[in-house]
Amino acid sequence: MKKTSTRLADGRELIYYDLRDDTVRDAVDRRPLERTVTTSEVRRDVLLGDSVAIASHRQGRIYHPPVDQCPLCPTTGDRLSEIPDSSYDVVVFENRFPSLAGDSGRCEVVCFTSDHDASFASLTEEQAALVLDAWTDRTSELSHLPSVEQVFCFENRGEEIGVTLGHPHGQIYAYPFTTPRTALMLRSLATHKEATGGENLFDAVLERELAGERVVLEGEHWVAFVPYAAHWPYEVHLYPKRRVPDLLGLDEAARTEFPKVYLELLRRFDRIFGEDEPPTPYISAWHQAPFGTLEEFEGVSRDDFALHLELFTIRRTSGKLKFLAGSESGMSVFINDVPPERAAERLREVAS
């Protein structure tokens, strides 16, 4: 992998990740952009104990542009985009309309390929491995920013999810706090560790799932399963078999096997509802340990956390979506219409 860092016309950082070591990236952003001005502010909800990012500048972000005006495609001739070069393998750049900025963190866009009509599932294993390298590098770099406590790499796929740009891409949020979902996991870890005399809860969950009926696919270094208490109609958790706290902890064997396992998982998602259905909308989310001492979670360290990816769709059956209505949105109590065992069975049935 070759990494080349440059700046866009408004001062935002852009980074090329190339498969070839001899690739030269010297294209200049020719757009007449002014410096980006953001209004991101993090406010604490004292009743719930969580935080909300207020980012009014995002109201003006690009919304479903025509294909020939996609800002994530390479620049061609006089059609200027966020990527100054005429081609790329993987590109990461600071979001022009970030939810988090400055002392409130940082937001980045990850373009998986220059092919507008592709998807992550259509990438080659070599391309997917390069994306993994980019996620890992950005996790490392962002973790050193003074304002960053947790790094979250994710992909929203499909208009049903709320995606406004059709080009295959994901995002990275670098939060200035430990996210509420991670905090819940850490508290459960601490409680279980104390109650069992030191047992790791992630290890116990993984052992139980490996011995059960909800495993979807398994490699030498990774296993994917539908969790016992899945929140979503089709939800899969992908774990490395050797517990590590973040992407940086993966060894070479796990990194090498990841593309094959993950691409197969994504391709199965696209076949859940039949070949005639449109591509399955999904969210793919990496869960990594926060950076820091975790002092508020007594008895738990970063090494107790288990890196894993959670992949789920809001489509519950052909032509129907799972909406977060009263119970889910009002009380955070999910109601799942698809038994996890049946979801796992279906995902095994659609193996390639």
- According to the model, what pLDDT value does residue 188 have? 97
Q: In the predicted model, what is the mean pLDDT of residues 315-328?
A: 94
pLDDT, one tens digit per residue, over 136-155 is 999 999 999 999 999 999 99
Question: Which residues are identified as catalytic?
Answer: 169
Residue 59's pLDDT band, with cuts at 50, 70 and 90, is low
User: Is residue 310 within 8 Å of 188, Cβ to Cβ?
Assistant: no
Predicted model pTM: 0.96
- According to the model, what pLDDT value does residue 56 have? 77
Report the Cα 249 to chain-centroid distance in Å.
17
Question: Measured between alpha carbons, how far is 139 from 108 in angstroms, rounded to an integer?
Answer: 11
User: Residue 285: pLDDT above 70?
Assistant: yes
What rounded mean pLDDT belongs to the chain?
95
Question: Measured between alpha carbons, how far is 245 from 220 in angstroms, rounded to an integer?
Answer: 19
User: Residue 62: pLDDT above 80?
Assistant: no
- Of 154, 165, 77, nearest to 116 by C-alpha is 165
Sequential DSSP letters for 184-222: HHHHHHHHHHHHHTS--HHHHHHHHHHTSS-EEEE-SSE
Give the chain's radius of gyration (CA, Å): 20
**Which residues lie across from 93 on neighbouring strands?**
14, 109
**Which residues lie across from 53 on neighbouring strands?**
42
Strands of the sheet with 90-94, listed across from one edge: 2-7, 13-18, 90-94, 106-111, 169-175, 150-157, 282-287, 308-313, 234-240, 222-225, 215-218
Tokens 């109609």 locate to: 233
Give the angle 33-34-39 at the CA atoms, nearest 5°.
Answer: 120
Question: Measured between alpha carbons, how far is 131 from 75 in angstroms, rounded to an integer?
Answer: 21
pLDDT, one tens digit per residue, over 157-195 is 999 999 999 999 999 999 999 999 999 999 999 999 999
Rounded to 10 degrees, the C-alpha dihedral 341/343/346/347 comes to: -110
Residue 64's pLDDT band, with cuts at 50, 70 and 90, is confident
Q: How long is the chain?
A: 352
User: Residue 134: pLDDT above 70?
Assistant: yes
Question: Measured between alpha carbons, how far is 181 from 155 in angstroms, rounded to an integer?
Answer: 17
Q: Pinpoint the alpha helices (H) of the chain.
A: 125-143, 180-196, 201-210, 252-269, 331, 340-349
Amino acid at 154: F
